Amino acid sequence: MNVSRMRFTAVAALGSAALLAALLSAAGRPPAPAAPAGSAARLPACGDGAGGAVCSAYGPAAALGGGTVRSYGEYQGGIPRALGISLTASAVGGLPTTATDGRHCYDADADGTLDGTHECVGGHSLELALPAVPAAAAGLPFQWVLFNWNPHGHNPHGRYDVAHFDVHFYLVPRKVRAAIKTGGCALLIACDQLAAAARPVPAAYLPAGYPASSPQTAEGAMGAHLDSRPPSTGTLTGQTFIYGAYAGDLIFMEPMLTRDFLQRHRTAPAHRTCEAIPQPAAWRIPGWYPTQYCTAYRPDQDDYTVTLTEFVHSAGARRLVTAGR
Please report the pLDDT score of residue 27 as a whole number.
Answer: 41
Pairwise pLDDT comparison (37 vs 161), residue with the higher score: 161
The sign of the torsion formed by the CA atoms of 67, 70, 75, 80 equals positive
- Asked if residues 145 and 168 have their Cβ atoms less than 8 Å apart, the reply is yes
- Residue 18 confidence (pLDDT) above 70: no
List, for residues 57-97, the tens digit of each pLDDT value: 999 999 999 999 999 999 998 899 999 999 999 999 889 99
Q: What is the mean pLDDT of the chain?
A: 86
Strand pairing partners for 128? Answer: 145
Pairwise pLDDT comparison (113 vs 22), residue with the higher score: 113
- Asked if residues 36 and 28 have their Cβ atoms less than 8 Å apart, the reply is no
List, for residues 166-188, the tens digit of each pLDDT value: 999 999 999 999 999 999 999 99
Most confident of 3-7, 30-34, 48-52, 127-131: 127-131
Cβ burial 164-195 (10 Å sphere, 16+ → b, else e): bbbbbbbbbeeebbeebebbbbbbbbbeebbe
- Percent of the chain at pLDDT > 70 equals 83
- Percent of the chain at pLDDT > 90 equals 74
Q: State how far the Cα of 315 lies from the Cα of 282, in Å rounded to an integer.
A: 8
What is the DSSP-derived secondary structure letter of residue 120? B
